[in-house]
Chain A
């Protein structure tokens, strides 16, 4: 890399990584669960119509 990423920035990013990674995984799982139930309710609605 030719730019200076900055020691303080790199270290901060590494410190933050665990927390943001964890929140991201939770968010992705939540979206999967939401999409699963949305799909199920959509199918139920279609069957009832």
Chain B
């Protein structure tokens, strides 16, 4: 029997996550008893689960608790893949923020409130944001302010404002600032026109000024003891919700269609044949999961989803991931998780001991990887030798559907247009030789109307 605590779950005295014999549990400590009972008995838990805002759980035997004093042990429904705020596109962050505010609104109706709201407590499951920390709730103390207000502004409002007003890539700051972006920094980085957004002016600029004022001062006990009614709290939530809803981001024309211009030189027959091959090979392998690397807007990821396969759809372009996430629901959409990931610089381990938030690869293993229209970007743009690319894929998956894009392909030529061709080994023969050191090539098929070749490898 093996048990171990989950590295990132240690701050909250109410309880923590642990894994026993490969199953994830959450221990509910005795100190949290009243809050837990209220959550379950008041109807709040049932309501939030029905609204798909809170993860479902079942109660396990308290005897499997791994420390004392434990009240209960619960087994939450597992999330298919844990993702972090710096991997989300704009609309994913916005939906997560709105979900937090909805949860707080509903909770107040049951005399409960969120005691914290870090972005890490929100995860995507079946295409929607939901809260995974069942112990985030506490009984609402009459007339007390919302203790999670600072966290909401730093974890959600600030990143969204920076993405909307300054640059979409600023969500990467969440990787550096584990407890959300400091509001004074956000205020400095935002353009002056952001001040004219009343909600941002209040919740970022004035909020930052207040934080700054009280940083090194003794707490003003008289001010802190003033009461704040539930109506005012609802007003605060409403103001934050309005602030979040008004933040928008639309990718520029160039971003949306960068990839489509890449393949516009390839006729429809190319796309159709490629789709058919991917579909047939997925039927042959029947993987439990697919990771589509360099997925763009998820055209091929959808093929896997429609077969009932959970698919991670990864691309480094936030515009593509945004387009993917917002695409109309089709069959299998609930099985897709699009994320912003730069394959050449994927999410590292961060936080205390570099284990609080884990690397991308530590959070899951791909049964099958799709690497379509990708290898030329890795080999040419990023100067990665083919053997390194092959050994990398070997490490991360059981089977691989990969497209070799030869040097004479118009897109590869574009990559070489402004640089010296220092890639004498980038040939079909070398590609097959290097990959054969790590994989068995099961099948290969040239794609008509292009010089490209699709391979199935195991």
Contacts and interface: CB of A to CB of B under 8 A. Distances in A.
A7 B219 contact: yes
B235 A8 contact: no
Contacts of A16: 202, 206, 236
A2 B238 contact: no
A7 B218 CA distance: 9
A24 B231 contact: yes
B257 to A, nearest CB: 40
A40 interface: no
A1 interface: yes
Contacts of B220: 7, 11
B232 A9 contact: no
A15 to B, nearest CB: 8
A25 B214 contact: no
A9 to B, nearest CB: 4
Contact of B211 (A2, A6, A15, A18): A6
Interface string B223-260: 11010110111111011000000000000000000000
A10 to B, nearest CB: 5
B165 interface: no
A32 B215 CA distance: 42
B188 interface: no
Give the interface size class of chain B: 35 or more
Interface stretch (B7-15, B351-359, B369-377): B7-15
B146 A14 contact: no
A9 B150 contact: yes
Interface in B29-84: none
Interface string A1-40: 1111111111111111110111111010000000000000
Contacts of B150: 4-6, 9
A21 B115 contact: no
B149 A9 contact: yes
Contacts of A14: 145, 223-224, 226, 228
Interface in B87-138: 115-116, 138
A5 to B, nearest CB: 4
A35 B299 CA distance: 43
A1 B115 contact: yes
Interface string B194-229: 000000001000110011111101011001101011
Interface of A: 1-18, 20-25, 27
5 contacts: A1-B116, A2-B116, A6-B214, A12-B211, A15-B210
Interface of B: 11-14, 115-116, 138, 145-151, 153, 202, 206-207, 210-215, 217, 219-220, 223-224, 226, 228-229, 231-236, 238-239
| 10 nearest A-B residue pairs (beta carbon) | A24-B235, A21-B232, A8-B211, A20-B235, A12-B210, A9-B150, A17-B232, A8-B214, A5-B147, A8-B210
